[in-house]
Amino acid sequence: MAGSPHLAGTRRVFLERFPYALVYRVEASVATILAVSHGSQRPGYWLSRRG
């Protein structure tokens, strides 16, 4: 599985060449992208924006 464990049961993978990371959750065989976070933001800033 790509990425490393992150906040609230999610995983995070950093993009090459760009200062962004994809935050996602895998359930069964489906990966759901929860956030595209900028590397300069504080960790977990996107948690309050979940739907």
SS3 50: coil
User: Does the pLDDT value for residue 42 go beyond 80?
Assistant: no
End-to-end CA distance of the chain: 25
- The 10s digit of each residue's pLDDT in 5-32 is 887 788 989 998 988 989 899 999 899 9
DSSP lists the bridge partners of residue 14 as 21
Q: Which span out of 3-7, 30-34, 41-45 was modeled with the highest average pLDDT?
A: 30-34
Q: How many domains does the chain have?
A: 1
User: What is the predicted pLDDT for the residue at 51?
Assistant: 56
Predicted local distance difference test score (pLDDT) of residue 50: 63
**pTM beyond 0.85, yes or no:** no
Per the structure, the complete domain to which residue 40 belongs is given by: 4-49
